[in-house]
Amino acid sequence: MMTRLKRLAVLVCGATFFSSLTLTTAQPYIYPNQGQSPQQEQFDKGQCYSWAVQQSGFDPANPQVGMAPPPGMQAPQGGMFRGAAGGAALGAVGGAIGGDAGEGAAIGAGVGALFGGLRRARERREEEQAMQSYATQQQGSISQGRSNYERAFGACMAGRGYTVR
């Protein structure tokens, strides 16, 4: 279970890291149309930054979204050993009816272990798919938040007499 949590953490951190790379490199070009001074431009950028964060609900300096992580998978409930024990018990009963409880138990244990192992492998695949889906959704939400922020910031700066591209 701890390995799965580590994988989830790596996926989320990786998605956040790579999205933050694009967030920091995608700076808009701003041109003062009305002869604003560099000091005025910095003041306006600060004001528009705050307003855009408020309007969009997204802060590019802290790109997080309010998505809950996928529900953690429960601790393994048996798997091969539980399947083997159940299969052995069932096989022993079947073997006793056929005249050889030991052989029936051995066959039942093998079949039970096989099915238990297959079930655990399926559960692991489903969990990894859920973690991948979560990371993809997280990345999409960050991209959407960034887009909304950029639109709000550009509108604010344009309203203050700047061209923003």
> Which among 69, 70, 84 has a CA at the least distance from the CA of 119?
84
pLDDT tens for the chain, 165 residues: list them: 556 556 655 555 555 555 444 445 468 999 999 999 999 999 999 999 999 999 999 999 988 765 566 665 555 555 444 555 655 555 555 555 555 556 666 666 666 777 777 778 888 888 888 888 888 888 888 999 999 999 999 999 999 999 999
> Which among 46, 29, 64, 43 has a CA at the least distance from the CA of 146?
64
pTM, to two decimals: 0.54
**CB within 8 A of 165, min separation 6: which ones?**
28, 29
**CB within 8 A of 106, min separation 6: which ones?**
88, 91
The pLDDT, as a whole number, for residue 46 is 96
The pLDDT, as a whole number, for residue 80 is 47
Q: Where are the domains of the chain?
A: 2-67+77-164
**Residues 125/127/131/134 CA torsion (nearest 10 deg):** 110
Q: How many degrees, rounded to 5, is the angle at CA 57 between CA 46 and CA 64?
A: 100
**CB within 8 A of 161, min separation 6: which ones?**
32, 33, 34, 36
The pLDDT, as a whole number, for residue 63 is 83
> Which among 16, 45, 124, 130 has a CA at the least distance from the CA of 79?
124
Q: How many degrees, rounded to 5, is the angle at CA 137 between CA 165 and CA 48?
A: 30
The pLDDT, as a whole number, for residue 138 is 87
Q: How many degrees, rounded to 5, is the angle at CA 62 between CA 56 and CA 68?
A: 80
